[in-house]
């Protein structure tokens, strides 16, 4: 009877250890599969001087220059006083839609004093927006 209890205990310990070993890899897969863009700088609510230094971040996708459309790749755009660009639509170049088609991950932009909504928008190699799920907005005050 003692032997049966001992074997049962070893079996449950082995199963428990195996689950613990699998958990981190499942967590890593979830983290790697999460796709998002974000501002490293400035932070939401910051008061800054012009030119405004922007540090752009991304997870789950790869930044590369515009030109070729590849799944999981693209480049950044900054939208001024706009929250996001609709998915599937080309982002035009204008004073309020800034393109970083060389694969830049930081920039300095001139802004007049005032309050601004800045949105980071990721798009594919031909500037087609990935939509709201690949955008992130912050509010800043420029002195």
pLDDT for res 92: 97
Q: Which fold has domain 35-142?
A: Immunoglobulin-like (2.60.40)
Per-chain mean pLDDT for the chain = 85
How far are the Cα atoms of 85, 120, 134 from residue 88, in angstroms, in the given order? 9, 16, 12
pLDDT of residue 9: 43
58-78 burial, b if ≥16 CB within 10 A, otherwise e?
beebebbebeeeeeebbbbbb
State yes or no: pLDDT of 23 exceeds 70: no
Q: How many CB atoms lie within 10 A of CB 54?
A: 24
What pLDDT score does 20 carry?
Answer: 43
Average pLDDT over residues 28-48: 84
- When pLDDT is cut at 50, 70 and 90, the band that residue 118 belongs to is very high
For residue 17, pLDDT over 50 is answered with: no
């Amino acid at each position: 009877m003692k032997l049966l209890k001992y074997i049962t205990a070893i079996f449950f310990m082995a199963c428990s250890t195996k689950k613990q070993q699998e958990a981190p890899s499942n967590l890593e897969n979830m983290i790697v599969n999460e796709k998002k863009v974000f501002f490293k700088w400035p932070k939401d609510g910051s008061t800054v001087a012009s030119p405004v230094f922007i540090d752009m971040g991304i997870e789950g996708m790869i930044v590369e220059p515009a030109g070729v459309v590849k799944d999981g790749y693209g480049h950044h755009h900054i939208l001024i006083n706009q929250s996001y660009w609709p998915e599937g639509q080309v982002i035009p170049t204008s004073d309020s839609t800034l393109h970083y088609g060389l694969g830049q991950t930081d920039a300095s932009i001139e802004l007049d004093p005032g309050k601004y909504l800045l949105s980071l928008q990721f798009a594919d190699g031909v500037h087609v927006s990935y939509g709201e799920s690949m955008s992130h907005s912050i509010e800043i005050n420029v002195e």
